[in-house]
Structure formats: C-alpha cells, structure tokens
Amino acid sequence: MPSNTLSADVPTLGWWYGGQEPTTRGVPIWTKLIENMGGAYRARLEKGPLLVHSGLFLDTPSAFTNPTLGQVKENPTRYPLLQQAVEAFDGRCSCPVVHSKADAAVDFVIVIGHEKLTIELQRLLAPSGVKVVPLPKSGGVVDLDDAYRELAHSQQVRTYFYGEPALPSSLAGLSGSTVPLGLQLNPYSFQIPWDALHVLRVGEGNAAPTSALPLGSSHVLSPTRLTRVDPGGPAHVVRLLNTVLAIVRVDPEDRLETAKSKVKEEEGEKAEEEVKEVEIDEDEVPYREEIAQREVLGFVVITAIDTLKRKYTILSPSPGKLPSTVAIAGSIEWVDSA
C-alpha cells in the first residue's frame, strides 16, 4: 500500500495479492500478478528510450529465498518465483527501442548476507547471463521477527488512511527522499448497502463432495476463480470485519452473460419462442477472473457490519461514491484505533 513519503509524489500502480507473503496456495494468483506487472513495465518502455536506459530496481519478498515455493511437477526447478520475475521483466520481448541485452533485461541479482543462496543462484542464473552479486550484511543488522513485521504492516495500513505521524523537531529539518512529509490525512467513514459493494475472494471456492458427482467424475476448480462473500454468513467464515479490501475496475466486457435458453411453446398452429433465464447459483460470480489480476483503484476497510440494516461501515481515503462496486478481500486485517 502506498504511503505519503516524497517518493509517493510520483503516480504509481498497485496490484493486490491479498496477503503479506506468497504462499503455496497463492502461487497461481501471484504468478498472474507478476506477469501483469511485467506487461505494464514493457508497455512503459514503449514510450521512449529514456525509460529504457533509466533502469529498474525490483525488491523481492523474503519468500523468494524458499527454493521450493512455486514448484510444479512439470517443472521442478528451484527458485521458480525468482526466475519468473526475471523473465517477466525482460523488456526486450516487445519493445522496439531496445537494442541490446543490457538495455531492458534483469542483469543483476543482489543478495545480502546469504552465502548459500548466492552460490545456488549463481549456478542457476549463469546460463541466462544474470550476474549474482553478494553484499555483506552490516553487523548492526538483525533479522526482523514476526511481531515487528506485523507492527510494520499495521503501521503501513494506518499511514495510507491517516498519513505518517509528525517527525520530532530534530528530524523535521532533514532533507531526503526517505523523510516523510508529516502530512496528516483525514479518512472518511460512511455506510453503504451490501448491494452497493460486491466483495469477492480469489481461490476459495466451495464444491460439492466427490460422492455427489457422477461416477468417475472429479472437481476441477481454477485456483484463481472468484467466489462471492456473503456478509450475512457466520463471522468466522465470512471474515469481513476489519478486512482491507482492494477496489478493482470492472469494464462492461468483464461481465459474464447470464445463461439463457430458448423454449418453444406451441399452441395450435402458432409457435412462440420464449426466452427464460436459467437460475444461477447465488455464489456464482458474474465477472471474469481477470478483474482480480489488474491494477487496483484504491483500498478501503470494513469497520462494521450491520446485519439488520444490511449495511457496511466503510473507512475510505476519500469522500463520495466508491470508484467501483467490486472489491477483492484477502487475509490482511487492520483495526482502526484512531
């Protein structure tokens, strides 16, 4: 989630994974997001040679140090997520202004304080011409524990809505891109009907038991399929209270057509055609899966759920109508204690 530092003055794009780190279950959606990020990068390169020669820094999550995360039976290569990122941001694929290998391809991977990882990546990436550079870790650096990471994530969400706290006077006069502006923001809290915001999740579809299927049949569910969240369900199942939602853009072509069947009814010598809509499961999502894999419009938090009035209480960074009626929920929660 973006913050209000000096570097945030530049317009940015954001994609929503829905979790803090890639997991085995979330690898399919992670892969799609990286592919789309790489596509956006290549599209930027086509705007001119200046962008090509400006370079690019990729900061990867700590989960990339897991050599088996993302492996599949068809391709048991180690560190598949890292290799996918290198390939996805290869700007030579479609950019006409790129003339050499070093112009727009990942050519360096920097590893800090991990000798074993450095050796393995050097062996793995050498054939593709990527150089792995080891950097020593400062003696004053310590690994972050889970408690600190959780606190940092919570503070980042708070900063998105309220801005960063004012700096002490001893630091306020410092310059540099890492010094926050000290801008205080005022988010808006308002209620909306359940029908005004369709909340979806990725890859959490429920299916009938195998015993209920025809003999020899099996379930084939897409790991990136969208499922609708019922706000009226049990709280421990719905998991919407204090959940961070990503608002996504939905275009007219993203809506799936309702299945229709034509039924002929003959009466005497006349034949009439009657179009009837087939009853659809309420959990069925009338949108393409791709809406959860594109750039997001912003973030909101559900701070309360009124089951009697069938309304959400939403915390939003801006007033007025939400830019879309569709939101994607993940596993990130945040309690507004301001």
Summarised one tens digit per residue, pLDDT across range 26-35 is: 899 999 999 9
Instruction: Determine the average pLDDT of the residues in 323-331.
Output: 95
User: pLDDT band at 337, cuts 50/70/90?
Assistant: confident
Rounded-to-integer distance, Cα 191 and Cα 303, Å: 10
Q: How many other C-beta atoms can be found within 10 angstroms of the C-beta atom of residue 53?
A: 12
Q: For position 99, what pLDDT does the model report? A: 47
User: pLDDT band at 135, cuts 50/70/90?
Assistant: very high
User: pLDDT band at 265, cuts 50/70/90?
Assistant: very low
Instruction: Classify burial at 139, counting beta carbons within 10 Å of its beta carbon; exposed 0-12, middle 13-18, buried 19 or more.
Output: exposed
Would you list the domain boundaries of the chain?
12-106, 146-163+181-205+223-256+284-337
User: pLDDT band at 216, cuts 50/70/90?
Assistant: low
Instruction: Determine the average pLDDT of the residues in 321-333.
Output: 94
By three-state DSSP, how is residue 308 classified?
coil
Q: For position 274, what pLDDT does the model report? A: 44
3-class SS string, 220-285: CCCCCCEEECCCCCCHHHHCCCCEEEEEECCCHHHECCCCEEEEEEEECCEEEEEEEECCCCCCCC
Q: For position 262, what pLDDT does the model report? A: 38
Kindly state the tokens that stand for 214: 């025809």
Rounded-to-integer distance, Cα 210 and Cα 223, Å: 18
- 232-252 residue pLDDT tens: 888 767 789 999 999 999 999
Residue corresponding to tokens 């940092």 = 152
Identify whether the C-beta of residue 191 lies closer than 8 Å to the C-beta of residue 306: yes
Q: For position 170, what pLDDT does the model report? A: 75
Instruction: Classify burial at 238, counting beta carbons within 10 Å of its beta carbon; exposed 0-12, middle 13-18, buried 19 or more.
Output: middle
Q: For position 49, what pLDDT does the model report? A: 76
Q: For position 124, what pLDDT does the model report? A: 92
- 67-101 residue pLDDT tens: 999 888 877 889 999 999 999 988 665 555 544 44
Strand (E) or helix (H) holding 300: strand 296-306
Q: How many other C-beta atoms can be found within 10 angstroms of the C-beta atom of residue 72?
A: 9
Q: Does the pLDDT of residue 117 top 60, yes or no?
A: yes
> Regarding predicted confidence, which is higher, 25 or 272?
25
Identify whether the C-beta of residue 26 lies closer than 8 Å to the C-beta of residue 19: yes
Instruction: From the options 3.90.25.10, 2.40.30.330, 3.40.50.620, 3.40.630.190, give the CATH code of 146-163+181-205+223-256+284-337.
Output: 2.40.30.330
pTM score, two decimals?
Answer: 0.79
Give whole-number Cα distances, 39 to 81, 102, 246, 295, 297, in Å. 16, 18, 21, 12, 18
Q: For position 46, what pLDDT does the model report? A: 83
Work out the mean pLDDT of the chain and round it to a whole number: 80
Q: For position 332, what pLDDT does the model report? A: 94
Q: For position 3, what pLDDT does the model report? A: 55
Identify whether the C-beta of residue 133 lies closer than 8 Å to the C-beta of residue 108: yes
**Buried b vs exposed e over 111-121: b needs ≥16 C-beta within 10 Å?**
beeeeebbebb
- 155-166 residue pLDDT tens: 999 989 998 777
